[in-house]
Structures are given as C-alpha cells and as structure tokens.
Amino acid sequence: MQIRSPEFKENARTALKEEGLQRALGKLRAGFPEKRAIAVERMPEFHDLRDEARDLKNHILENLDIYLEQFESKVQESGGHVHWARTGDDANKIILDICKQVNAKTVTKGKSMVSEETNLNEYLEANGIQPVETDLGEYILQLREDHPSHIIAPAIHLNLSDVSEIFHEKHGKPKSDDPAVLMQEAREELRNKFVAADVGITGANFLVAETGSTIIVTNEGNGDLTQTLPKTHIVITSIEKVVPTLEDMTLFLRLLARSATGQEFTVYNTLSTGPRREGDADGPENFHVVLVDNGRSEMVGSEFHEMLRCIRCSACMNHCPVYGSVGGHAYGWVYPGPMGSVLTPKMIGIEKAGNLPNASTFCGKCEEVCPVRIPLPKLMRHWRNNEFEKHLSPKAVRWGLAGWGFFAKRPTLYRQLSTASNWFMRTLGGKKGRVKSLPMASGWTDFRDLPTPTDKTFMQQWNDKKEGKQ
Amino acid sequence: MSTTNTPVQVGLFVTCLVDMFRPTIGFATVKLLEQAGCTVEVPEQQTCCGQPAFNSGDRETTRDIAKQTIQAFDGYQYVVGPSGSCIGMLHYYADLFDDNDPWKARAEDLKARAFEITSFLVDVMKFDEVLATLEQQFDQKVTYHDSCSGLRQLGVKVQPRKLLDKVAGTELAEMTEAETCCGFGGTFCVKYPDISNRMVSNKTDFADETGAQTLLGGDLGCLMNIAGKLKREGKPLETRHVVEVLAGMTDTPAIAEAVYDLGKQA
C-alpha cells in the first residue's frame, strides 16, 4: 500500500472529523478491551502464562536459526517446499513463480498482514493473476479498494451502511441492512471463488519446528477452504513466527485468543503439514512456505529485538487511546497502533515514519496488556533517540529543547527563569487564574484554557519563609 | 517508620510545574509529610526531572540532568514529590547509565529512595491511620483521575483512595475509564493537539457524568490539561491535586479558577 505515514498529522486531523469512523472507533473502544478483561479475569494463571510466553519467545529468538532450519527440514520431509525471501519483493517473485508453474488464473487468500507488507495483491494483479480475499473484512476492503485499518479486524473502520452500499454496488443485488443477509451474499459470492481457485494463499500465526506445521487461526473458516480446496497452498509468513513444539504453540494460542478478541480459543485453528498424503480425504497437492525476513533479522540483537516477540494479537491498538482516537489508517502504513509505531519505522524508514513513535503519550497501556510483555513505550523511545541522533527531529523541537536544557542544567539561572516565567504568567492570567489564548502556546490554547499561577513560585515562597520574610 | 523517635528525613522534589504554576501543592505536600513525622528540606540544586529531554530522544541532556538531581538529593533518607510522572522519571535514571558507570549505582540508590507522595504516605509511613485521627473535612463528591506513570510505573492506585477515605465528608464517585490517559503526555499535547483534545474531551465527559463537584489527581500536568478543558467547555467541575484536600488546603481557588468569584464581583 501507498505509504502515508509522513502525513500522519493531517491524516489524524481528518480522521478526527470523520463521523462514520468515529462511530466505528467508539464501538471498538468499548468492545475489545471489555471482552479481554473478562477473559483474563476468568483465567487466574493468565499473567504467569505471559511471563512464560515472554521467556519462551526470548529463547526462540536466541536460537532463531536453529528452529527455522528445523522447521525447513521438517516441511521438506513431509513433502513441502520452503522458500527464503529477504525482501518483500523477493517474496512476491517467489509466489508469482509458483503461480505461473501451475498456470494459476485466480488465487484465493486468507488474511495475511505479511502479504500487505509485500503488496502481494497489487503485484499479482499487475502480473495477470486475480487474488480474491476470503476473510469477510478483507473481502469488503478489496471490493472498496481499501486497506486494513487493524491487524485482526481489518474493516473495523467501516459501519454496516458502508458494507451494504458496496455489496449492492458490486453484487448487484437489492440493498440490505441485515447483517445476516449480507453475510449470506458474501458466502454465495465466495463459494464459487473457493472452488475455482488454482492456488490458495494464507498467512500463518505460528510455525511449528518439531513437525514442520503451519497454523492459522480464524473465526470464519475461510482459511480452511482457502488452503484445502486449491491444488496448491502457499503460506506467506515471517521468520519470527516459529515456535519449537506443538505444546509451545498451544501456550501462544491461549494468550492470543484472549488478548485479541477475549475468546478462550479462536473458532478455527487449522494446521497444515505438507501436501495431501496418500489416503487423505482432501488437501493441496503442492505445499509451499515463503519465509519473509523484510528487516526482521536486522532487529535480532538490536535495541528493537523485543519487538520480534509480537504475536499480532492487536491488544495494544485495542487499548491505545491514540489509536482509539484516529483509527488505523492515520498511521499511513500496514501496521497501526503501538506495535506499528515500533515496526513501521524499521520497515519504511524513520525518515518517513518519525511521527509514529512520537504520537504517543507513553501512557503505558499497551505494555500493560501485551501478552508477551513487549515494552512498547521503551521501544518507541528508542526511535525518538534514533531520530534525535540523526538530527531528524523538527528544528522547533531541537531548539526548544536546547534552550530549555541550558537552563535546566544550571539551577541558579533556572530559578531566575522560573521566577520570571511565573511573574509573566501570573500577570497574564491576573485574578482569573487562566488565559484563553496565548499565541506561543496555541497548541494548548486552541483547545483548552491555560491555568496560570496566582502566587509566587514555590521556591520563592519557601526561601522567603526560611529567611523569615513571610 | 512513624513510630521511631528519630524523624524521617525527606528531600522534597518540588517538580517544575508545581514550582511555577501551583505552589500550594508543594506546601500541602510539606504539611502532610510533617504530619506524618518527617522533616522536610528542599534542595536548591533541583530543577526539572528531565522528562522533556528523555522523551524527545536527547539522552545526553537527560543524563546531565539526572546527575544533577542525583547529587541534589544525595544523603536524604527519602525523596518525595507530588507527581507520579516526575518521580517515575527519577526511577528511569538507572537505565541511562552503563553497568560499569559509577552513576548507575547512585541512580539505583536514588530509585530505592524516591516515592510519589501518596504512595510514600501510605506504603512507607502508614499515614492513612494517622490521617484518620486528624479529622480532615472536605464535604464534596469527588472523582479521581489515575495518571499514567504513577499508576503503571509506580503502582499508585489504592493509596490516594485509602487516604481520601479518611477525609470526612468526601464521597468518591469513580468515573468510566479513570485509568485512561487524559492526553497530556508532556510535549504530546502541543505536538499533537487535535489528538490530545479528543482524549481530554473523553476525560472531561466521563468526569462530568459522575456528578462530582471536584476532580482530583496526583499529577499537575494532567490536572492543568483537564482543568483547562473543563473551563473551556464551561463544565462546573473544579480540579485539584489530591494533597490539597488531604492537607485541608482547599481555601485557595482550584486549578484555573479565579482568585475571587468574578461573577459576584461584577
């Protein structure tokens, strides 16, 4: 998708004024957090499992090469193929090649954020292959030529009327505002696509090293049809998704569902291990796994290492007051919210994504709910350090900071400055105790009054008292 | 602690906002500490905790300020301040230095001694029991905003409530999303004013819904943000730092309120 992260501020301003979006975000704010809280409440060992998951992920990342190679050899043993893609473009080329080998005309797709990262749909279309999204949210977005605004609820920015509108336009059937009718329409449309597809492409939530299995979790079952009906199944996923054993996988599944939707378990948990074996009732004839790096291996051992623990549950964005205010599209690229504010600068460059790690109050809610305890505010702060060191921060910020720092490091001068500022503010506010407009602080006074002091500084008064001047 | 005869020696970290905008909070803090049996000094060499630099990626300036603050509070048994955010910053100092840097140990030492006021009063001084005997009175329905750093970094949640519980006449009405950020975020509120505005508007709506007369909190930055918005919206709630109520220093006008009632004067 087109990168719009540099325009974050404008995107946010527009988003705040979009009534439909704000209505949709209102539902999200109330929905996901409450459901998660109930699920967590019902599981006393939840926070212990988070510790376990964090430690296990750390162990995996320290041995990433070993587990990935084990995964590769197990996939090969079961008759599948593993392809290594350093970049998104590499991944797209590999997938196109496979599609060409089987003369594919159409492919069905399960939801995959990695394929959003690589722009796979646009690439396939440009090369004469029609991708069809089968996750309901993704399907709606594809009809609208829109992009996901959330990593597990891609169409969360839309309302029922938007869906009704686009279905009427594209399916040519009478308009309906009944979700059940719309759902049935989508099922009918998609059923034929599932049967006709030459290739099915899915993502993966986890890769199991001991068995060479990939797993996807969905609530719609579209992933099952995408990967079992076509002759060829391609999994596009990223290298940090590997876990050692099936048992380990279940630990993450328990955390994932509860953190994401508040479910105890996702409805469909579908494992794929190689192509169809003799005697299997169904399954693809060819099985490919494309392992995408796209900057991840550079993160190993770096200050952003801990970000690789992410299991893409979306709890951070569901609880983020900034995401809840502006929605996912404002962030301007694939991954929104706190996790996106750490990942996006790595993938598209801090020069373009500088606003993202800055647009946080560091309230810490994201870290509080993260199932693998990623210190997201700390990682966002690393980007701010990085930006400052590269002299990318806006001049006003740098100069303001330098001026303030000069005084803050000199207590005597600082005291004189705070005394003068206090006097200035006090004079300005007078007996009203506040000002309504202050040009040098318009960011503040455009939206709220500025409280002003009504007395001398604490330090002045304290010293006066000490000296008995009272 | 409070039962020993030697007074507990506290260095007050005033915080720059309290120093400049609302000294009452500083004096209320001193009063409470003294009531709890502490002697209070205010080291001259303190300025700001360094958050503006820390959160803007300027690590060098942050380290310089950290060293200055560590030195200023050398030798005090405890360092107490009326802000979870600024005291939280003091707790971050240790992360600024390498393991082999001697400043690291000094920063760790400061961290162990530095407390947010309500948590110090309750967790260290067990002052809630003492407060009950002081017959403090505040006849109002109040609501409490939990500021982020205090809540999530320092675990300040029950402490102010335990203390308020000991003030006669005060009824606490919890608001929806009391733990959600108010949108202040230091420089955030001026760098992303539109988003900040949405966040503080949610906060003032939730606060207003409770029917409380006063909103209380433990961080002046957040309180100025909320008070400024309440005033702009014309909502009747007043805003105060919790220590003002605990110390019985509510005769001064609330945050962003006029020194005298302008309506009556006219």
CATH number at residue B181: 3.40.50.11810
State the nearest Cα–Cα gap between B39 and chain A, in angstroms.
14
Residue B266 lies in a domain: no
Q: What is the DSSP string of A176-202?
A: ---HHHHHHHHHHHHHHHHHH-SEEEE
Q: How confident is the model at residue B91 (pLDDT cuts 50, 70, 90)?
A: very high
Contact B228 A363 (CB under 8 A): no
State the nearest Cα–Cα gap between B158 and chain A, in angstroms.
18
Residue B3 lies in a domain: no
Contact A361 B22 (CB under 8 A): no
Q: Would you say residue B266 has pLDDT above 50?
A: no
Contact A451 B256 (CB under 8 A): yes
Structural domain range at position B239: 128-258
Chain A residue closest in CA terms to B15: A458
State the nearest Cα–Cα gap between B180 and chain A, in angstroms.
7
CA atoms within 13 A on the CB side of A16: 19
Say which residue the tokens 């006021």 belong to.
Answer: B117
Contact A386 B192 (CB under 8 A): no
State the nearest Cα–Cα gap between A421 and chain B, in angstroms.
8
Q: Are residues B219 and B105 in the same domain?
A: no
* Best residue in B71, B182, B192 for a mutation probing chain A (most A CBs within 10 Å): B192
Predicted local confidence at residue A357, as pLDDT? 98
The torsion of the CA quartet B97, B99, B100, B106, rounded to 10 degrees, works out to 60
Q: Could you give phi then psi for residue B98, rounded to 5 degrees?
A: -65, 160
Q: Are residues B24 and B73 in the same domain?
A: yes
Asked which of B120, B152, B173 is the last residue of a domain, the reply is B120
Contact A449 B253 (CB under 8 A): no
Position with higher pLDDT, A400 vs B25: B25
Q: Could you give phi then psi for residue A153, rounded to 5 degrees?
A: -125, 75
Beta-carbon contacts below 8 Å between A and B:
203
Neighbours of A441 (CB within 10 A): 13
Residue B264 lies in a domain: no
Q: Would you say residue B225 has pLDDT above 60?
A: yes
Residue B204 lies in a domain: yes
Q: Would you say residue B65 has pLDDT above 90?
A: yes
Give the residue among A308, A206, A319 at the shortest CA–CA distance from A253: A206
Strand ranges of the sheet holding B8-12, from the earlier edge strand across to the other edge: B38-41, B8-12, B78-81, B114-116
Instruction: Give the separation between CA A375 and CA A380, rounded to whole angstroms.
Output: 9
Contact B228 A365 (CB under 8 A): no
Q: Are residues B140 and B82 in the same domain?
A: no
Predicted local confidence at residue B261, as pLDDT? 56
Of B20, B53, B194, the CB nearest to A16: B194
- Structurally, how many domains does chain B consist of? 2
Position with higher pLDDT, A160 vs B264: A160
Predicted local confidence at residue B5, as pLDDT? 66
Q: Are residues B106 and B133 in the same domain?
A: no
Q: Are residues B21 and B115 in the same domain?
A: yes
Q: Are residues B223 and B151 in the same domain?
A: yes
Q: Would you say residue B3 has pLDDT above 80?
A: no
Contact B259 A13 (CB under 8 A): no
Instruction: Give the separation between CA B230 and CA B256, rounded to whole angstroms.
Output: 9
Instruction: Give the separation between CA B25 and CA B16, rounded to whole angstroms.
Output: 12
Q: A315: phi > 0 → left, psi -120 to 50 → alpha, else beta; which?
A: alpha
Of B21, B198, B262, the CB nearest to A432: B262
Contact B55 A407 (CB under 8 A): no
Asked which of B69, B99, B120 is the last residue of a domain, the reply is B120
Instruction: Give the separation between CA A269 and CA B88, rounded to whole angstroms.
Output: 42
Instruction: Give the separation between CA A319 and CA A339, rounded to whole angstroms.
Output: 12
Q: Would you say residue B226 has pLDDT above 70?
A: yes
Residues in chain B with CB shorter than 8 Å from the CB of A448 are: 197, 200, 225, 228-229, 231-232
CA atoms within 13 A on the CB side of A36: 24
Residues 334-363 in A contacting B (C-alpha not used; CB under 8 Å):
358-363
Q: Are residues B110 and B210 in the same domain?
A: no
Asked which of B77, B103, B120 is the last residue of a domain, the reply is B120
Q: Would you say residue B1 has pLDDT above 80?
A: no
Provide the β-strand partners of residue B172.
B142
Residue B1 lies in a domain: no
Q: How confident is the model at residue B2 (pLDDT cuts 50, 70, 90)?
A: very low
Q: Would you say residue B252 has pLDDT above 70?
A: yes
Give the residue among B260, B228, B169, B119 at the shortest CA–CA distance from A451: B228
Instruction: Give the separation between CA A369 and CA B176, rounded to whole angstroms.
Output: 18
Residues in chain B with CB shorter than 8 Å from the CB of A16 are: 194-195, 198
CA atoms within 13 A on the CB side of A287: 22
Q: What sections of chain B are H helices per DSSP?
A: 16-21, 23-35, 51-54, 59-72, 84-92, 102-113, 117-119, 127-133, 148, 154, 158-164, 188-191, 193-209, 220-233, 242-246, 262-265
Tokens representing residue B98 in the block: 């390498």
Contact A454 B259 (CB under 8 A): yes
Q: Are residues B236 and B148 in the same domain?
A: yes
What is the set of domains in chain A, with CATH numbers?
A: 43-297 (3.40.50.10420), 395-466 (no CATH)
Q: What is the mean pLDDT of chain B?
A: 95
Coil, strand or helix: which one is B38? strand
Q: Are residues B42 and B104 in the same domain?
A: yes
Predicted local confidence at residue B264, as pLDDT? 45
Q: Are residues B94 and B155 in the same domain?
A: no
Predicted local confidence at residue A1, as pLDDT? 80
Residues 304-333 in A contacting B (C-alpha not used; CB under 8 Å):
321-322, 325-326
Of B50, B55, B228, the CB nearest to A381: B55
Chain B residue closest in CA terms to A435: B256
Q: Are residues B132 and B254 in the same domain?
A: yes
Q: Are residues B42 and B154 in the same domain?
A: no
pTM: 0.95
Residue B265 lies in a domain: no
Residue B234 lies in a domain: yes
Write out residues in chain A with pLDDT < 50, as ranges. none
Give pLDDT tens digits for B119-134.
999 999 999 999 999 9
Instruction: Give the separation between CA B152 and CA A366, rounded to whole angstroms.
Output: 11
Residue B72 lies in a domain: yes
Residues in chain B with CB shorter than 8 Å from the CB of A411 are: 44-47, 68, 72
Instruction: Give the separation between CA B179 and CA A38, rounded to whole angstroms.
Output: 17
Contact A362 B21 (CB under 8 A): no
State the nearest Cα–Cα gap between A298 and chain B, in angstroms.
22
State the nearest Cα–Cα gap between B96 and chain A, in angstroms.
12
Contact B194 A459 (CB under 8 A): no
Contact A361 B181 (CB under 8 A): yes
CATH number at B36 reads 3.40.50
